[in-house]
Amino acid sequence: MTKRSRRTHSAGLKAKVALAALKGEKTLAELAQQYDVHPSQITAWKQQLVEHAADLFGGGKESGGEPPVDLKVLHAKIGQLALENDFFVRRAQQGRPAERKAMIDREHALPVSRQVKLVGIARSSAYYQPQPVSEADLKLMRRIDELHLEHPFAGARMLARLLRREGIQVGRRHVGTLMKRMGIEALYRRPNTSRKHAAHKIWPYLLRDRKIDRANQVWALDTTYIPMARGFVYLTAVVDWASRRVLAYRVAITLESCHAVEAIEEAFAKYGAPEIVNTDQGSQFTATEFTDAVLDRGIQLSMDGKGSWRDNVFVERLWRSVKYEEVYLKAYDSVSHARRSIANYLTWYNQRRPHSSLADQTPDEAYFATLPAIKSAA
């Protein structure tokens, strides 16, 4: 068996691919096929572009002479850098393994063995190259998503049995792997036997037995998997709990906290601040980038109990409507097509779709009907 030689890519190609990923008009699978580059490498280049973009606008001018060295200032600077290094190392280890792996830069002067220690992953993980999602798996993921909406309590074992009854031969481990990739899990109450990452704070659930009857009292955020003709995207939405109105959303090719931050920042700019923001325990919502965006505005943060269907059932109803009334009726042929079509549906959902739970009002009607009560009470 011949050993495959290591490929090298020009800086121009890296920049071109990273810009295409940042633009978000194509899925990672489409970009990987177009440029013959692995999806994980595309994610890494995209992150490097975002992190170093500010360097393009730095001063860059060097002074003519060398200033004298002040040992006290130098020692203070070393101490400051040590503190900052500790701060950034701890923050870097908050992300999911895939996000931390994307931070590794094999062309950097710092050895890979040291980089993996700083971000908290095994050295073997830095060299592992997962296979792109196959066409068969994409079809299987779509069917798993449909079954999950119909039977949200079903775990990997039950879903595998249901699929086998349909003539699809698949093992429960493969189903579990695809569920993780899709960001879904069975919704049921269970003992919390999983160990949480020390750097991830899980906030308590604040909505139990609370009466929610006005707009901007509670907002909910969640992310769901959206299948396409080739590949898939993620939809993150900010929803007003009382009126069911979708306040802001993002369609993205990756599952990252920055998309949740962009969505909620847009909602803040348009509609002000709610009393409580409720999310699940997904890593995009437990990341410091997202929690700081909420807490810095004096808003309370609430999180669903892990695996508790009662805490999450409201947002699950929204996803059911989106998928059965929009997504499953169409086969998006591009990311831009998915964005346009989902935008049209959510506009119709807010403005024209009546809800029996809202006395046949639309979300827009229910939302704006309670805003004057908030102003007068203030």
What is the three-class DSSP state of 87? helix
Predicted TM-score (pTM) of this structure = 0.64
Length of the chain (residues): 378
Specify whether 93 is located in the same domain as 162. no
* CATH code of residue 260: 3.30.420.10
Q: Residue 309 and residue 280: Cα distance in Å, rounded?
A: 11
Specify whether 231 is located in the same domain as 370. yes
Specify whether 45 is located in the same domain as 122. yes
pLDDT, tens digit only, all 378 positions of the chain:
455 555 677 777 888 888 888 888 888 888 888 888 888 888 888 888 887 777 766 654 444 555 666 666 766 777 777 766 766 666 666 666 777 777 778 777 778 888 888 777 887 777 777 677 888 888 899 899 888 888 877 888 989 989 998 999 999 999 998 988 888 877 654 433 333 444 558 888 888 888 888 999 999 999 998 988 888 899 999 999 999 999 999 999 888 888 999 999 999 999 999 999 999 888 888 888 999 999 999 999 998 876 555 556 778 888 989 998 999 888 888 999 999 999 999 999 999 999 888 889 999 999 999 875 544 444
**The predicted structure's pLDDT at residue 148:** 86
CB atoms within 10 A of CB 68: 5
**The predicted structure's pLDDT at residue 67:** 63
Domain-located, residue 231: yes
CB 92 within 8 A of CB 103: yes
Specify whether 101 is located in the same domain as 226. no
The alpha carbon of residue 225 and the mean position of all alpha carbons in its chain are separated, in whole angstroms, by 10
Domain-located, residue 1: no
Specify whether 226 is located in the same domain as 98. no
Specify whether 80 is located in the same domain as 227. no
Query: In terms of Cα–Cα distance, which of 173, 169, 170 is closest to 155?
Result: 173
**The predicted structure's pLDDT at residue 193:** 31
**The predicted structure's pLDDT at residue 29:** 81
Query: In terms of Cα–Cα distance, which of 376, 368, 369, 344 is closest to 270?
Result: 368
Specify whether 155 is located in the same domain as 25. no
Domain end, chosen from 127, 148, 163, is at 127
pLDDT in tens, 355-375: 888 889 999 999 999 875 544
- With tokens 């964005």, the residue in question is 339
Domain-located, residue 169: yes
The backbone torsions φ and ψ at residue 234, rounded to the nearest 5 degrees and listed phi first, read -120, 140
Q: Residue 99 and residue 47: Cα distance in Å, rounded?
A: 9
Q: Residue 356 and residue 275: Cα distance in Å, rounded?
A: 26
Specify whether 223 is located in the same domain as 355. yes
What angle (nearest 5°) sits at the alpha carbon of residue 264, between those of residues 261 and 267? 150
Which domain covers residue 372, as residue numbers? 218-377
Encoded tokens for 244: 């069911």
Encoded tokens for 66: 């060398």
Specify whether 355 is located in the same domain as 268. yes
Specify whether 21 is located in the same domain as 159. no
Counting the structural domains of the chain, the total is 3
The backbone torsions φ and ψ at residue 139, rounded to the nearest 5 degrees and listed phi first, read -65, -40
Encoded tokens for 377: 């009470």
Q: Residue 218 and residue 51: Cα distance in Å, rounded?
A: 33
Domain-located, residue 206: no
- CA neighbours within 13 Å on the CB side: how many for 97? 9
Domain-located, residue 195: no
CB 176 within 8 A of CB 161: no
Specify whether 230 is located in the same domain as 270. yes
200's CB contacts (< 8 A; 6+ apart) are: 94, 283, 286, 287
Specify whether 230 is located in the same domain as 297. yes
Q: Where are the alpha helices (DSSP H) in the chain?
A: 11-23, 28-35, 39-52, 71-92, 97-102, 112-119, 123-127, 135-150, 156-165, 172-182, 257-271, 283-286, 288-295, 309-325, 335-351, 363-377
Would strands 276-279 and 300-303 be described as parallel, antiparallel, or unpaired? parallel
**The predicted structure's pLDDT at residue 322:** 92
Domain-located, residue 32: yes
Domain-located, residue 337: yes
CA distances from 61 to 58, 64, 345 (A): 9, 9, 51
- With tokens 């950034």, the residue in question is 88
Domain-located, residue 100: yes
- With tokens 């299987």, the residue in question is 140
- Torsion angle defined by CA atoms of residues 128, 14, 84 and 86, in that order, rounded to the nearest 10 degrees: 0
**The predicted structure's pLDDT at residue 268:** 95
